[in-house]
């Protein structure tokens, strides 16, 4: 029984971590696009959705340290901050994710 529980938790954590890695790639790509002014509205919406989700769910899987930086990027996008500020926040979040996954 305990093994089954641990097994299911491990499965879900692996799935979450795998998704986190792909979100990290996406955030880095978004940061680059912002620097070259090529990010479109759909991309903004997608990133906004991803960071909102990250802010809410990362703690469930033991990545609570990502909550604050994700909330920060969400607030920057919501307040239509300057692209370079959003890019900086996004890069920082991607870096935080990398560190969390590797630790």
Partner 1 sequence: MTLVSIVKSERPEPELVGAGQEAHAARTDRKLIYLFDRDPHLTDLSQKLMSLGYEVACGLGKCDSDQFLAAVIHEAADPDLELTASLARDHKVIVLCESKSFEFKLKAVRMGVAALIQLPVDLIELEGWFSDFDSDQQVESKVLIVDDDDIVAEAYAFALQQCGLRTETLSNPLKTGQAVDDFCPDLIVMDLEMPEANGLDVAKALRLSRPNLSVPILFLSAEQNEQIQHEARQIGGDDFITKPVDLATLTDKISIRVSRARELRKIMERDSLTGLLNHVNFKERLAAEVGRSRRTGSPMAVCLLDLDHFKSVNDTYGHQVGDRVIQMFGNCLSGSLRSVDVIARYGGEEFGVILLDATPEQGARVLDGIRRNFSNCFQDTDQGPPTVTFSGGVCGLDDAATVEGLLGAADEALYEAKRQGRNRIILHSQLENP
Q: Does 19 bind partner 1 (CB under 8 A)?
A: yes
Measuring CA to CA, which residue among 93, 100, 99 is closest to residue 29?
Answer: 93
Binding part of the chain for partner 1, among 15-23, 27-35, 36-44, 87-95 by CB under 8 A, reads 15-23
| Helix and strand totals (H; E) in the chain | 4, 0
CB 23 within 8 A of CB 63: no
Q: Distances from the Cα of 13 to the Cαs of 5, 41, 58, 100, in angstroms?
A: 12, 31, 10, 13
Measuring CA to CA, which residue among 65, 35, 70, 39 is closest to residue 52?
Answer: 70
Output 36 or 40, the one with its CB closest to partner 1. 40
> Segment 38-97, which members bind partner 1 (CB under 8 A)?
49, 52-53, 55-61, 64, 67, 71, 74
**Interface with partner 1: number of residues (CB under 8 A):** 21
CB of 81 to partner 1, least distance (A): 16
CB of 59 to partner 1, least distance (A): 4
Contacts with partner 1, residue ranges (CB under 8 A): 5, 8-9, 12, 15-16, 19, 49, 52-53, 55-61, 64, 67, 71, 74
């Amino acid at each position: 029984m305990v093994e089954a529980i641990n097994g299911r938790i491990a499965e879900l954590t692996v799935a979450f971590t795998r998704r986190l890695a792909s979100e990290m790639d996406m955030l880095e790509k978004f940061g680059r696009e912002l620097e070259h002014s090529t990010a479109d509205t759909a991309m903004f919406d997608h990133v906004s959705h991803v960071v909102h989700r990250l802010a809410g769910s990362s703690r469930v899987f033991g990545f609570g340290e990502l909550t604050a930086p994700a909330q920060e990027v969400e607030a920057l996008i919501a307040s239509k901050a300057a692209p370079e500020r959003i890019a900086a926040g996004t890069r920082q979040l991607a870096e935080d994710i990398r560190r969390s996954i590797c630790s």
